[in-house]
Amino acid sequence: MERIILLCLVSTCLSAIHAQKFLFSPKWGPVGYKEREENEGTAMDEIIKANGFQASRIIDGTTTLRDGDIAVSSGRRSKVCFARSCLWSKSVDGHVYVAYRLSTDYSEMETKMIKKGMESVEKGTCVRFVPRTHERDYVDIQPKSGCWSYLGARGGRQTVSLQSPGCLRVGVISHEFMHALGFVHEQSRFDRDKYVTIMWPNIWRDRLRNFEKFKTDNLDLPYDYGSIMHFGMFAYSQDGSPTIIPKNNQNSKDIKLGQASSLSHIDKMKINKLYKCGGKDDY
Ligand SMILES: [Zn+2]
């Protein structure tokens, strides 16, 4: 009798192990991103994690998320911004001042981190973030649910959501500010198929639209695999297989997609070109 009980226990244990494997195997475990073994994930990997795999893409009744983290209102204004960037105005001194209001819900440490994200955008570009005094147009930084931003300057107050924790990494913060400045994801460029292959069958079916192309103005700049705005190789993967791979060429194995914590050199050039800041390095 004891033997039978023992056998039963062993078999229960085995099936529990089996069930665990089933639950946590790459095929069935949480999907949508894959941690890199050696390096940090990309900024977008963090964003996908924070915004949740099953989370609703609807922020409120009239605002939805597009491409994973770009807020779009059902009003006409944001559609125009998608077709061509809506720019922040440039000051006579050559800088682009982006006024901001920071939620008082952030701790001192969190505030420091957000300011680091701002500095990462400011360094080598003509953009300057300034605390709002009277400006009509400004970004309202709030710890709402998820990491997201509207695209470009919408006029008036516009929210940038940096949830705490989850979005308070320098890379994530600068990624969202890049959206606010008017940039879409790098692999949304109209000419991206020359540089990367989208592995459509590997993408979580629900998120296929996140890989759309747009009629972007590429500002005569080369395709930037290492942009802070590039999806990582496993973005929205349904089974752990790559969803974007660099096109075959001699160096394709060395190419890393995306960036963890800082703007790439080309990202900075993009800002300076879009805002006609001359591309000087001495801002
Ligand atoms: Zn994004």
Per-residue pLDDT of the chain (283 residues; tens, 9 = 90+): 555 444 444 444 444 444 443 333 343 334 444 444 444 689 999 999 999 855 556 677 788 899 999 998 876 555 556 655 689 999 999 999 999 999 999 999 999 999 999 999 999 999 999 999 999 999 999 999 999 999 999 989 999 999 999 999 999 999 999 999 999 999 999 999 999 999 999 999 989 999 999 888 899 999 999 999 999 999 999 999 999 999 976 666 778 899 998 999 999 999 999 999 975 555 5
Q: Which of 189, 179, 247 is nearest to 213 (CA)?
A: 189
Q: Which of 211, 241, 176, 259 is nearest to 33 (CA)?
A: 241
CA–centroid distance, residue 8 to ligand 1 (Å):
51
Rounded Cα gap, residues 174 and 14, in angstroms: 47
Q: Which of 46, 67, 33 is nearest to 213 (CA)?
A: 67
pLDDT of residue 22: 36
Q: Is 179 annotated as a binding residue?
A: yes
CA–centroid distance, residue 15 to ligand 1 (Å):
41
Look-up: residue for tokens 């929205």? 236
Rounded Cα gap, residues 96 and 261, in angstroms: 23
pLDDT of residue 16: 44
Residue type at position 123:
K
User: Which strands make up the sheet holding 70-73, listed edge to edge?
Assistant: 63-66, 70-73, 147-150, 157-162, 138-142, 96-102, 127-131
Q: Is 185 annotated as a binding residue?
A: yes
Which residues are tagged catalytic? 176
Entry pTM: 0.83
CA–centroid distance, residue 169 to ligand 1 (Å):
14
Q: Which of 111, 152, 157 is nearest to 137 (CA)?
A: 157
Architecture of domain 43-183: 3-Layer(aba) Sandwich (3.40)
Residue type at position 195:
Y
Q: Which of 180, 158, 174, 194 is nearest to 268 (CA)?
A: 174
Structural element, H or E, at residue 122: helix 108-122
pLDDT of residue 249: 66
pLDDT of residue 12: 46
CA–centroid distance, residue 89 to ligand 1 (Å):
22
pLDDT of residue 40: 65
Angstrom distances, CA of residue 272 to CA of 73, 123, 154, 226, 266: 27, 11, 20, 18, 10
CA–centroid distance, residue 244 to ligand 1 (Å):
16
pLDDT of residue 74: 76
